[in-house]
């Protein structure tokens, strides 16, 4: 059984900007809660009890610690008792060193599961552990078939027993990839992982500062003859490392998660609303009645958060509306995510976009194929197409921007 999971959260998540300019990637809002909370809940439901964040950098530590603390509230919310700890403040030179430093500091001498803070997945932990044990593996990597671009993944070639023979990190050309099995960043490490860095090969990596799992530790372990295996994961897996992948994951999970998993109830066909307080219940009932009576229109799947207000003649399609959002009359929100406490003015349209937290979208504004960071103001009648706006910026009313970044 696996009791411990380590979550390295040290990168700057450049590809997910502007959402991560001031926010840890693990804490970006996703289905109306922090992204990594879904992973922790999924693992806690399978018996994982201790979670160690390998945090580096101010934003990462502040955001993760201020929300999760020691995790005692988790049992109240989800009925699962967990403990959360943090890597001490040390400068690490890669995600493998973040894991190693955590294992050393807390003197962990048992198999651990490593997950990534910007992934959402469905993994059978016990089955992966049984596979790992049966192979007597040093590292077991959860692999997933990928039919698209492979240049942003580690790619593994395996034999008939799933032993990894070759590993290529981020192949530049398709022909450089040894297969279409990609590294999900989900690793099961044996209890010998710490000792590896005390030997000649591991010491060399450590002294050279080559301490990234995909770029250094995994290929070197394979070349050294250590048993590194690929576990063929059957569940879904998304690397939510870019706005495009973020929306892809949102749309998939909206269609495949149950109302229970969404923490919501179905108030109209494929329209799910959250909230249990008296105020939330009243607003949910109003939205449900407005849909049924044709006051507003919604095409699912749609997830609506707590204390949300939606005006008459508004159209919502395949979107996530977070807590305390206000949407005015005659608006359109399609295939988008609107994060908490944002305001969408009368007659505004948001399509295929991500609207960050506490954003103001003025009356009649249009936002399409864009990513708007937290605390941004978009003036009345502004038109934004394929635009990214950094936090705290203002787009003046009537401005038209296309293919532009506001920094």
| Residues 237 and 300 grouped into a single domain | no
| Residues 195 and 335 grouped into a single domain | no
Residue 261: inside a domain: no
| Residues 106 and 246 grouped into a single domain | yes
Cβ neighbours for 194, distance < 8 A, ≥ 6 positions apart: 100, 103, 104, 109
Cβ neighbours for 297, distance < 8 A, ≥ 6 positions apart: 291, 314, 315, 316
| Residues 77 and 166 grouped into a single domain | yes
- For the question of whether the overall pTM of this predicted structure is more than 0.75, the answer is yes
- CATH number reported for the structural domain that contains residue 373 in this entry: 2.160.10.10
Please tell me the predicted confidence (pLDDT) of residue 59: 66
Residue 263: inside a domain: no
Q: How many domains does the chain have?
A: 2
Q: Tell me the Ramachandran region of residue 386: left when phi exceeds 0, alpha when psi lies from -120 to 50, beta otherwise.
A: left
| Residues 316 and 375 grouped into a single domain | yes
Contact 122, 43 (CB under 8 A): no
Residue 385: inside a domain: yes
- CATH number reported for the structural domain that contains residue 192 in this entry: 3.90.550.10
Pairing relationship of beta strands 271-273 and 265-268 according to DSSP bridges: antiparallel
Residue 262: inside a domain: no
| Domain end call among 253, 282, 311 | 253
Please tell me the predicted confidence (pLDDT) of residue 300: 85
Residue 126: inside a domain: yes
Residue 260: inside a domain: no
| Residues 243 and 282 grouped into a single domain | no
| Residues 48 and 194 grouped into a single domain | yes
Residue range(s) defining the domain that contains residue 202: 4-253
| Residues 303 and 205 grouped into a single domain | no
| Residues 103 and 167 grouped into a single domain | yes
Please tell me the predicted confidence (pLDDT) of residue 130: 96
| Residues 104 and 184 grouped into a single domain | yes
pLDDT per 10-residue tile (average), the chain, 407 residues: 90 80 90 94 95 77 86 90 87 82 91 93 96 95 86 85 89 80 93 88 85 87 92 91 92 93 93 92 92 94 96 97 97 97 97 97 98 96 97 96 92
Please tell me the predicted confidence (pLDDT) of residue 151: 79
| Residues 243 and 355 grouped into a single domain | no
Residue 265: inside a domain: no
| Domain end call among 203, 226, 253 | 253
Residue 298: inside a domain: yes
| Residues 57 and 134 grouped into a single domain | yes
Cβ neighbours for 171, distance < 8 A, ≥ 6 positions apart: 150, 151, 155, 177
| Domain end call among 227, 253, 279 | 253
């Amino acid at each position: 059984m696996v009791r411990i999971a380590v979550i390295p959260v040290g990168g700057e998540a450049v590809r997910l900007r502007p959402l991560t300019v001031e926010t840890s990637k693990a804490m970006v809002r996703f289905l109306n809660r922090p992204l990594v909370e879904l992973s922790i809940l999924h693992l806690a439901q399978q018996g994982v009890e201790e979670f160690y964040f390998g945090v580096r950098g101010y934003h990462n530590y502040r955001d993760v610690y201020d929300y999760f603390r020691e995790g005692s509230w988790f049992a109240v919310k989800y009925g699962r008792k967990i403990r959360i700890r943090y890597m001490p403040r040390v400068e690490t030179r890669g995600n493998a060193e973040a894991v190693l430093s955590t294992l050393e500091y807390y003197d962990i001498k048992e198999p651990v599961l490593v997950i990534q803070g910007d992934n959402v997945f469905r993994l059978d932990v016990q089955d992966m552990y049984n596979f790992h044990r049966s192979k007597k593996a040093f590292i077991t990597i959860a692999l997933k078939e990928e039919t698209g671009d492979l240049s942003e993944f580690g790619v593994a070639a395996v034999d008939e027993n799933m032993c990894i023979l070759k590993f290529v990190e981020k192949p530049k050309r398709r022909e450089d990839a040894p297969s279409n099995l990609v590294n999900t960043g989900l690793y099961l490490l044996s209890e010998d992982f710490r000792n590896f860095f005390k030997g000649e090969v591991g010491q060399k990596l450590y002294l050279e500062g080559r301490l990234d799992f995909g770029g250094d530790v995994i290929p070197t372990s394979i070349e050294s003859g250590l048993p590194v295996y690929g576990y063929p994961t059957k569940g879904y897996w998304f690397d939510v490392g870019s706005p495009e992948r973020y929306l892809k994951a949102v749309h998939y999970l909206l269609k495949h998660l149950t109302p229970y998993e969404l923490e919501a109830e179905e108030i109209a066909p494929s329209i799910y609303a959250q909230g249990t307080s008296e105020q939330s219940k009243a607003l949910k009932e109003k939205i449900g009645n407005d849909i049924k009576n044709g006051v507003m229109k919604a095409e699912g799947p749609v997830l609506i958060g707590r204390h949300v207000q939606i005006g008459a003649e508004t159209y919502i399609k395949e979107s996530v509306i977070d807590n305390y959002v206000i949407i005015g009359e005659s608006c359109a929100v399609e295939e988008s995510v609107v994060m908490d406490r944002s305001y969408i003015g009368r007659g505004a349209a948001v399509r295929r976009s991500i609207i960050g937290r506490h954003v103001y979208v003025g009356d009649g504004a249009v936002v399409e194929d864009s990513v708007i960071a937290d605390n941004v103001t978009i003036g009345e009648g502004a038109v934004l197409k394929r635009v990214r706006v950094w936090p705290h910026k203002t787009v003046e009313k009537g401005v038209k921007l296309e293919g532009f970044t506001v920094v």
